[in-house]
Amino acid sequence: MSQVFPEARVVHPIEQESFRRLRTRLDTSHFAPLTRAVVERVIHSAADLDYAGDLVTDEGALEKAHAALHAGAPVVVDVEMVAAGITRRDTVCRLKDAKSGPGLTRSAHAIRLAYEEVGPGALWVIGCAPTALEELLTLDASPALVIGLPVGFVGAAESKAALRESGLPAVSNVSEKGGSAVAAAALNALLYHPVSQAAKASPSVKEKS
């Protein structure tokens, strides 16, 4: 089980001002609570308002993932850069132990190793390698959530489309952009969102944010 850091988070004034400015430029009030949290924090991490129309989320899936996360479900990341952005939860990253082979990238092998370690029910945060996301989709991982936001001109958009088609609980985006910072931000949005507020979230709805 991942280590949980329950102490209250102190928000720096610069972050508060950044979110205030974001909300003056983009109305996010129509989003359901957890969807809004994810959209805003992803935009904040990249200073890219276009994510408001590029992200694909599901409030019901986020509610269940939020509960699992705060109950201590493991968090798996594809690269250390994603792990570095998630400061309030221990994560599993097996990239250093992985090896490439015929038809298998190092990133894909790392996903296999991570699944052997954590089993079903984890939250998977993939922000770098499309092949990591592709490999996860071949496993019977039964994830609590897949944050699939790999970046790149080769395979990124396709792997995210495959994630959406899989029916797994997910956060993804339509375009080729993404990356470690935005993937970590999506997970952090769930970490930072209070449990009491999530319990009051609106009924499950599927929405393309």
**Is 209 a residue whose pLDDT tops 50?**
no
Q: pLDDT tens digit string along 78-95?
A: 999 999 999 889 999 999
pLDDT digits (tens, 9 = 90+) for 123-143: 999 999 999 999 999 999 999
Choose the catalytic residue: 44, 66, 109, 193: 44
Please check the confidence at residue 2 and state whether its pLDDT lies above 60: no
* 44 pLDDT higher than 60: yes
The two structure tokens encoding residue 107: 């990133």
Any catalytic annotation for residue 44?
A: yes
Residue 154 three-state SS: coil
DSSP-derived secondary structure for 74-89: -EEESSHHHHHH--SB
